[in-house]
Amino acid sequence: MKNKRLMKNLGKAAVAAALLTTSVSPVLAATENKTEVKSNKTAAESSSKKTSSSESSKASSSSEASKSSSSAASSSSKKAAEKSTKKAAKKSTKKVAKNTKKTTKKAAKTTKKSTKKAAKNTKKAAKDTKKVAKKAAKDTKKAAKTTKKSTKKAAKNTKKAAKTTKKSTKKAAKDTKKAAKTTKKSTKKAAKDTKKAAKTTKKSTKKAAKNTKKAAKTTKKSTKKAAKNTKKAAKTTKKSTKKAAKNTKKAAKTAKKSTKKAAKKGSAKSTSASSTSSAK
């Protein structure tokens, strides 16, 4: 990166020197020519004013002389400008060369330092990588041993499990056979019991039907008897109700008579009491 920057700076310095040589010299020459022409014009004007009108021919000849002197002055000023431009270009080129030399030296030193540092870092990184690789190799070896042991143990366990499974499968087969026999026997017994129960149920159903028929007849008879008794009781109730009504009517009449009689007695007593009080 630093070398690239130095190259860019060198390129910029070279461009600046080229610009100085191409653009400064004509500018300086133009400014110098302008100043000299002005000074020559002022000198010619002052000399023409001093001379009289009678000496016009002399003035014209002097103006021609001034023109020739001004052209000579402009050519000399151009030469002087070119010389100064060349000197300035030389100085700037020398300065740029010195600066370039300094920056190049500085960049070379910096590059040397960075190269040394990079070499040290590379060496250190190589050592670290070697250490890591050794450690990884050890870990891999250890892991391989552990894997071998666990694989052996797993194989033993698998073999043992296979034997156990074989034994349990044989036992399960025997148990299944025994259970099948027991199931067959119990199924036969259950079939016999079901048949016997069916016969018993048939007999009991017939007996229950007979009993139901008998009970129905008895219920019919008792229902008829109950209906007769109810009718008889209704008649008896009607008679007793009529009798009770007559008795109630008779009792009402007797009560009415006794009330009237009591009323008469009460009025007689009240009249006698009033007569006795008046007599007193």
pLDDT in tens, 198-216: 999 999 999 988 999 998 8
Is it the case that residue 193 has pLDDT exceeding 90?
yes
Q: What is the pTM of this model?
A: 0.25
Q: How many CB atoms lie under 10 A from the CB of residue 29? A: 19
Assess contact for 92 and 51: CB atoms under 8 A: no
Buried b (16+ CB within 10 A) or exposed e, 260-272: eeeeeeeeeeeee
Residue type, 79: K
Could you tell me where the DSSP H helices lie in the chain?
A: 2-19, 25-50, 56-279
Q: How many CB atoms lie under 10 A from the CB of residue 34? A: 12
Which range (1-5, 115-119, 155-159, 164-168) has the least confidence? 1-5
Assess contact for 33 and 78: CB atoms under 8 A: yes
Q: What is the pLDDT of residue 7?
A: 52
Q: Is 77 exposed, middle or buried (0-12, 13-18, 19+ CB in 10 A)?
A: buried
Assess contact for 80 and 12: CB atoms under 8 A: no
Q: How many CB atoms lie under 10 A from the CB of residue 85? A: 20
Is it the case that residue 142 has pLDDT exceeding 90?
yes
Assess contact for 93 and 17: CB atoms under 8 A: yes
Which range (72-76, 230-234, 265-269, 275-279) has the least confidence? 275-279
Q: pLDDT tens digit string along 47-79?
A: 444 444 444 554 555 555 555 656 666 777 777
The sign one gets for the Cα dihedral 235, 241, 244, 249 is: negative
Q: Output the CA–CA distances (angstroms, integers) from residue 49 to 40, 59, 112, in the order listed.
A: 14, 10, 77
According to DSSP, residue 53 is labeled: G
Higher-pLDDT residue of 206 and 278 is 206
Q: What is the pLDDT of residue 14?
A: 52
Is it the case that residue 139 has pLDDT exceeding 90?
yes
Assess contact for 92 and 16: CB atoms under 8 A: yes
Phi, psi values for residue 52, rounded to 5° = -85, 170
Percent of the chain, pLDDT > 70? 69
- In whole angstroms, what is the distance from residue 90 CA to residue 25 CA? 13
Is it the case that residue 154 has pLDDT exceeding 80?
yes
The sign one gets for the Cα dihedral 52, 57, 60, 62 is: negative
Instruction: State the residue for tokens 């079901």.
Output: 194
Is it the case that residue 146 has pLDDT exceeding 90?
yes
